Chain A
Amino acid sequence: MSLNNQLESEYSGSLKTELTLGLPGGAQAPKSAVKRGFSDTVDLNLYTNSEDEVNVATHTQPPPAKGQVVGWPPVRSYMKKKMMTVNCKYVKVAVDGAPYLRKLDLQIYTSYKELLVAFQNMFTCLTICNVIANESKIVDISNGTEYLPAYEDKDGDWMLVGDVPWNMFVESCKRLRLIKSCEKLKLMKSSASLETSSSTSC
């Protein structure tokens, strides 16, 4: 029996997978009017595995839809690491309670305000609440959890975002973390690198 006959007998009718010419992974879903809770955001297949592939550039102006496809363009992992450090400053962004990391290019932003908007765009369940003039908080409106943006600087110390001039911040920031407000004290005590905190809710 020829291979093609065999093939047909394996299939009763055509079981062809649906052909999509669209980009696998898809472009970023448009922000909906209804904001999802954080756990819903986690379930979204936002681009690929959580690790180094993810790159979301968010601007205060609506960005061109950047479809991020796994392993494309075919730049070797090693070359990619080289590229990442060229003309951009990518830092990992962690959020307390979330199982995956995101990445941001700090050089795209020119102020803390833009950075906060980036967080809002990246984690669509979070909103900026301007509580006092100088202090903006980030809140998950589905459950009221407050987050404070913190960063690890060149010396390995964890600092609150907003204390130093923007350029100095970009220069020294190694990675970002949105910590739950109630965890703040714990964080400030230990300037050693932070383990992913357990999901104790506050």
Chain B
Amino acid sequence: MKLLSTKATCNTHGQDSSYFLGWEEYEKNPYDEIVNPKGIIQMGLAENQLSFDLLESWLAKNPDVPGFKRDNKSIFRELALFQDYHGLPSFKKALVDFMAEIRGNKVAFDPNHIVLTAGATSANETLMFCLAEPGEAFLLPTPYYPGFDRDLKWRTGVEIVPIQCNSSNNFQITKSALHQAHEQAKKQNLRVKGVLVTNPSNPLGTTMSRGKLDLLLDFIKDKDMHLISDEIYSGTVFSSPGFVSVMEVLKERTHNLKDSDDTAQIRDRVHVVYSLSKDLGLPGFRVGAIYSENDTVVAAATKMSSFGLVSSQTQYLLSAMLGDKKFTKNYISENQKRLKRRQRMLVSGLRKAGIGCLKTNNAGLFCWVDMRHLLRSNTFEAEMELWKKILYKVGLNISPGSSCHCTEPGWFRVCFANMSEDTLNLAMKRLKAFVGDSRVEGSCSSSSSIRAQSSGSGTSARKSLSKWVFRLSSREQEER
């Protein structure tokens, strides 16, 4: 048996984390309204399925496009062999316009600074290859998307050092946390090349304030580092305070004479990652992008994109769709409305179960839910116990905070945009019953199937339930 590379045989890809295990369990027993009503409901996948009808109606109105026709002439020949890693110019233009539109046209993007990649997964990895040597590190605020442990580290050899955030200030980054993380890296003999933030945040579902973005820019300027802003959820912001891109803050600093010199220095160290997987709900299309004003990064990333080019068919299709400004305007606002409505549904459903979530949640396809009060003890073991119960007994796959490297046990990410309203309601019912039952039985381990009791519980259970719920809602009111 020949040896394989250490990469092929090692286990550092983080695929064993609960994030992926939950997914696997779901695949084995997926919920289906008709075929498998007791199956596991997937609430761990941040997919946006709320606005497919808008995409479909556009396709129906524009049948020429999927047929590779433009003005009744076939353009198939041009596309069949188009493999230029610079990307289809019309698509890049349409994409940067779309990105600008999402940002309220407060910033403009230059198509020459955009690199197309097969999804944001590929974009993030490529940026790591471009900005850091193997063994160097990036700082990431916790909690963060579990996939980063794989995408940023696996083939690149780059390390992640967490910036510890906690619930005392709704998990925002603080100056001291940044410095602490930097010190920690030094202790581990790791040279830090930059900071990577997801804004809006996954899994928190919150946008970063101008103040925090300024803080980050000051930090990277001071420490001679890069800043990567993963803005793949930028189009999913559904309520105030609204989305502020790091590019907008950079622009403001440039205009502010006091800061303009400093800002000129850091312009080529700020890189934005984008994707159509969340905003347009098209993860299967594999469309991602890197935006950077650093010529070396753009040149290198462009060539590296050979390893993950977007198919010309997809580029063409999307250039037509995103080039339809009427469509994009309507899509962006309608999509946000639907997300807002759906989030409200989830939040109120959770509240009925006596569960609260991050009150600053104004974006994303998920809520950052507080289940600390349901833990047997304030430990990650208890969190895992609770997660398993919710997965196997309640039949909901949600993502535990530990898989996102959260410092406090008891937080979970619950997605709301990848299922129908009915399914969401059912999930909330199940959860409510579980919470009620677990209170009644006085412990978190119940042998009987909770799902069977979802339709009704005994009077005594109901009494205890309402008392307990009352206690929790009043606590919740204090938080809000």
- Whether chains A and B associate is no
Binding site for B on A (CB under 8 A): none
Interfacial residues, chain B to chain A (CB-CB below 8 A): none
